[in-house]
Each structure stands twice: as structure tokens, then as C-alpha cells.
Chains A and B, each alone.
Chain A
Amino acid sequence: MTTFVKKYFALRKRNTLIAWEKAKQMKFCYAFLAPYAVLFLAFYILPMLTSIYYSFTYYNILEPAKFVGANNYIDLILNDDVFLKAITNTFQLAVITGPLGYILSFCFAWLINELPRWIRTLAVLVFYAPSIAGNAYAIFSIIFRGDAYGYLNSILMNLGVINTPILWLTTPDYIMPVIIIVTLWMSMSTGFLSFVAGLQGVDRAQYEAGYVDGIRNRWQELYYITLPNMKPMLLFGAVMAITQAFGVCDVPMALAGYPSTDYAARTVVTHLFDYGYTRFEMGYASAIATMLFIVMILCNKLIQSALRKVGT
């Protein structure tokens, strides 16, 4: 046993030495990387680590942090009914908008790809614009407004479907579907662009070869040629879709109000917003952030391993 451990450490030492020698030769690499690395570690990684540390404390910014062990997590899971509601909502949102937004992005990109050039340019713009249009989603609060001046209400009333206006954004049953629609509307973002660009890059010769080998319709072509070629973009798009699906926060806050009726539009991130920015319970908010992040990484691992099997 001891000889094994000794050997292991000797090997580690040797490897480190080799790496160190190599690092010394590649000094300029570190010089090039340094400015970015310092900023990146300071403003992206360090906050994440601090957040994990504070999740084990009671911290309200005014008093020094007090270590409370795993209490925040226990409270979160066992005692916080609103958090359970938030989790349910977030999962509902993530399960619907994540995969659906992802698949729709791909489908639209795929269909757009075969259009003539100028229509394609226009179509990409139409699909991509909502996700970069700042807070244009606020326009949905007029479309779904609860009184008769709301666009949807007035249409439905004119058609005689309903007699009295529906309070779309304050009735718990309707809030979630509205938010799902708006989130889907905004889901054609960077991942979608990546798909459009990736599809343009698929080698035409492979399609020609496909015709010869007897690929009959567009679905076979999609499965046997397009998807395997698009795998890297699909992996990238998955990361983007997860980020988007779990990070829903602005839309429910702008549309359903904050806090929303009966917490119907409460997501994990709005819950975090509540504890972090309204109640200043930083320890508790950090615990929420850490949980969310772990779930996101697990999801990502799961999807990446699933996507590797596509088309093979």
C-alpha cells in the first residue's frame, strides 16, 4: 500500500515538473491570458465561490456573516413553501420552454436554411429580433392587459368568445401559460444564430451523396446527414437553452408583477431576487443560487451525454 502511494506521488511530482517546464517555455501564453484571466476569475468565478461560502452562513450585509452549517439548505427544502412553489414553476417553465424552445430554434433554422438568400436574411431577423429587443417584452402587458382595452381581451370579446375581460396577468391559472408564451417568443437567441450559421456550413457534397444513396425525404436527410453534422452547434445551443430556461426572471417580474398573485409567477430566480435584494438575507439567497447552479450543471451534463448519441 505504502509503495503504491509513494509511486503515485512520485508520478504526480514528475507530471507536475513536466508541466512546469512546459509552462516556463510557454510564458507568453500566460502573459496573453493574464488580463482576461484576472478579470474573469474576479467577476465570474470568485462571486460563484463566495456565493457557495455564504450559503452556509447567515449574512445580512450589516452584521458579519455567522456560520450556520447546512441550515439554509434545510430551511429551503423543508420549510419554505414559496420556494417549493418557485421550484415547481421553474421546472414547469424549464421543461416546456427549454426543450421546446431548443427544438423550435433548430426547426426554424433548418427550414429557413432552404429559403432564397434575401428571404432567409429577413427571416433570421424576424426570429432573432425579439431576443435582443431590450425590454420589448413589456409590450405583452398591453396585449394581455386585464381590462377591455387589452388587445387579446378586445379581440375575444368582439368575437363573442368571452363576455367579460379576463385578468390574464393576475389570475393564477393564466399567468404561467402567458409567461411560457413570452419566454418562447424570446427563445430564438444565440443558439438559434448558431444553428442558422451551422446549417449553412454543412457540406453540400454530403447531400448529393445522400441523393445517390437513396435518401428519400427531408426527414431522412435531417436525421442521417444534417443532425450528425450539427452536433457541435447542438451542444452549444443546449448550453444556451438551459441558461435561458432556468434563468427566467425579468419576464414574470415585468408582466405578472412582483410579487405575483398567489406566487403563481414565482421562479427560483425571482425568489432569489426577493431574498437577496428585498430582504437582504444574503446567506439564504446564496443557498438558492448554489442549488440553481448545481441543477443547471447536472442538466447540462445530462443533455450533453444524450446529444452525443444523436445520429450515430
Chain B
Amino acid sequence: MTTVKHYKGPVRADGTPINVPKKVLKLQQTAKARNRKPNRSLAGNIFIYSILFLVACAMAFPLIFAICSALKPLDELFRFPPTLFPRNPTLDNFSDLLVTMGQSWIPFSRYITNTVFITFVGTFGNVIVGSLAAYVLAKYDFPLGKPFFSLVVTALMFNGYVTAIPNYLVMSKIGIVDTYWAILLPAIAAPMNMFLMKQFMEGLPMSLIESAKIDGAKEMRIFWQIVMPNVKPAWLTMIIFSVQSLWNAKASTVIYSEAKKTLVYALQQIQAGGIARTGQAAAVTVVVMLVPIATFILSQSQILETMATSGLKD
């Protein structure tokens, strides 16, 4: 029996497709026999994928190096010639890090609480406020809506450092410098997340919303009960991106009281402690990179589903 992949046309009783040229059937058979696409040369495949493999190794090397360094005891960190893999892997660096954390001027749990609080509130606000805006921008045509969205696309290009100075001035004018709001409010308005949400919602059929409207649902109810459950991948993506950026937020320019600093800031202060803390610095690198990477692994398929709609239409 010969079947053609993704063929949905008429078939004969034995399942062989009608109307499919012989050429295609033959190509498919040979492709199946060799288990690859018909118009690919084997030599090309081997060549390309071995290059890809080498590049992937090169990409992964620094991260593996970082993890291995964190597992090396102090004498191995300064061994000559330096080695890649630790000979006697230990978790000493991590326990040393815990000791240093215990000695900080502000109880270390305070930094953790700060980061958890900021991440939680910021992400929550970002998803709600961003989705509300994304919904109307994606599904309704109203005056000033399009120009506003192109402004958001332009804002995707803003670099944190470039706007940091005037941002500080604006924040000091409204008096939120050195409060959590200084981190939270810009994070809630993050253009990237809103942009992704809007692009994803474009794919939602308008008939869904209209039928709810005919049934007498108010806009707010449509948003909560029809729209939001249907864009689950998008708001999961929003959560992940928001968590990633808030976790990495140091905000050293807008927060100056030590008790309000974030965990990453405190960890990087330890990291900057010079050569005596080389081991701990390596441990910090691993701790800091672990959270974003772990969240990405857990939600990869949802993120990719959202990114599939991220394209910019003319």
C-alpha cells in the first residue's frame, strides 16, 4: 500500500491516492526507503549536520565550562594547565556561597523575598494589563489603535541603558524612586510581551467573540471567559519572559536602599568579591543562569507556539 503524507484527496479502496502523479509516489517511496526528504543529497546532509554539531558544541562549551568550574574544588580552579572537567567534583562552592549569604549585612532572605515579590507581582500585572491592551489592539479597529501599536513596535528597539537616565528623571518626578514600583511599573508595560500577546490574539477567530456577544456577554466577560482560555500558550509565554527579565533585574539605578535590592544584585555583589571568591563566583553564575533556563525547558513547546505568530506583517 502506498500512501502520500498529508494527502487528503480521494483514495482508492486500498488506500492508494488517486490523482497523484507517479513521480511523486516514486519520490516518496525512495524517500521513505532512505528516511529523508527526496530532494536532499546524503553527502550534503552529513556535511551540514556535522558542522551544526560542531557549532552546537562550541555554543554549549562556555555554559558547560561554567557549570564544571562551579563543581571544582579551589585547588583545581587554579591548576595549571587548567582542566575542563573537575577531577573531584564537590558542592563546596555552593555551601561556601550559603555561608557568605548568611553573613550579609541585610538578612539574605530579604533579597529572596524581594525577588519573589517583584517577580510575582510584576508578572501578574504584566499578563493582565498586557493582555487587556493586546486584546483590543488585535481584535478591534479603533482610532489611534494602529499608531499606538506601531509605537510599541518601535519601543521594541529601546535599549535599557539608553532610556535609563530619563526614566530615572520621570520616576523621581512622580516619586517612585527607591520603591518597588520603580521596577514593577516598567516591567508591567514591557512592550515585547504585549507585542507577542497581540500577535497571538490576531489568530483568534472573530466569530468566537461575536457569537459570545450575541449571547449577551459583556466585553469584560468575553475577555475572561472566551479570549483568555483560548490564548493559554501566549500568556504562559508572557509569564516566562516576564519571570526571566524580572529575575535578572538589578535596577541598581532606581533602587538604592540595600533592603530593597534583588537577589541577583546581591549575588553579583558576592561574585565581584575578587580572586578569593573565584569558586563562589562560579557557583553564582550557575545559580543565576539556572532559573531562566529551567523555566524555558519547562515551557518550550508553549513558547514556540506563541513565537510562531510573532512575525511582523507589513
The 0/1 profile, CB within 8 Å of B marked 1, for residues 272-283 of chain A is 110011000010
Q: Does A194 sit within 8 A of B, measured CB to CB?
A: yes
CB distance from A207 to the nearest CB of B (A): 8
Q: Does A235 sit within 8 A of B, measured CB to CB?
A: yes
Residues of B within 8 A of A140 (CB): 62
Q: Does B118 sit within 8 A of A, measured CB to CB?
A: no
CB distance from B204 to the nearest CB of A (A): 15
Checking A111, A132, A277 against B49 with a beta-carbon cut-off of 8 angstroms, the contacting residue is A111
Residues of A within 8 A of B60 (CB): 126, 129
Residues of A within 8 A of B161 (CB): 247, 249, 269, 272-273, 276
| CB contact under 8 A between A297 and B154, given known A22-B143, A108-B52, A208-B5 | yes
Which positions 258-312 of chain A face chain B at CB distance < 8 Å? 269, 272-273, 276-277, 282, 285-286, 289, 292-293, 296-297, 300, 308
Checking B136, B170, B308 against A47 with a beta-carbon cut-off of 8 angstroms, the contacting residue is B170
The 0/1 profile, CB within 8 Å of A marked 1, for residues 157-192 of chain B is 111111111110110001000000000011011011
CB distance from A178 to the nearest CB of B (A): 12
Q: Which residue of A lies closest to B248 (CB)?
A: A134
Contacting pair A50 B159 (CB below 8 A): no
Per DSSP, are chain B's interface residues mostly helix, strand or loop, or mixed? helix
| CB contact under 8 A between A39 and B6, given known A208-B24, A217-B39 | no
The 0/1 profile, CB within 8 Å of B marked 1, for residues 116-143 of chain A is 0000010111111110111111111011
How many residues of chain B have a CB within 8 Å of chain A? 98
The 0/1 profile, CB within 8 Å of B marked 1, for residues 188-223 of chain A is 101001101110110011011011100111101100
Please measure, in the bound complex, the distance between the C-alpha atom of A240 and the C-alpha atom of B66, giving whole angstroms.
27
Q: Which residue, of A30, A142, A235, A247, has the highest number of chain B Cβ atoms within 10 A?
A: A142
Q: Which residue of B lies closest to A132 (CB)?
A: B292
Contacting pair A194 B189 (CB below 8 A): no
Contacting pair B56 A123 (CB below 8 A): yes
Checking A19, A48, A111, A148 against B80 with a beta-carbon cut-off of 8 angstroms, the contacting residue is A148
Residues of B within 8 A of A134 (CB): 247-248, 264, 285, 288-289, 292
Q: Does A67 sit within 8 A of B, measured CB to CB?
A: no
How many residues of chain A have a CB within 8 Å of chain B? 109
Contacting pair A205 B6 (CB below 8 A): yes
Please measure, in the bound complex, the distance between the C-alpha atom of A26 and the C-alpha atom of B152, giving whole angstroms.
21
Q: Does A37 sit within 8 A of B, measured CB to CB?
A: yes
Q: Which residue, of B135, B160, B311, has the highest number of chain A Cβ atoms within 10 A?
A: B311
CB distance from A58 to the nearest CB of B (A): 14
What 17 new A-B contacts, CB under 8 Å, besides A138-B285, A190-B310, A221-B39?
A22-B143, A28-B136, A32-B132, A36-B133, A43-B167, A129-B60, A136-B66, A138-B271, A139-B63, A197-B305, A198-B307, A200-B304, A211-B27, A239-B153, A249-B159, A292-B159, A308-B314
Enumerate 23 A-B pairs (CB-CB under 8 Å) in ascending A order. Answer: A26-B140, A33-B148, A35-B133, A36-B130, A44-B158, A44-B186, A44-B189, A123-B52, A124-B300, A129-B293, A139-B285, A149-B80, A149-B82, A155-B81, A193-B307, A217-B39, A218-B40, A232-B313, A243-B156, A243-B158, A282-B165, A285-B165, A292-B162
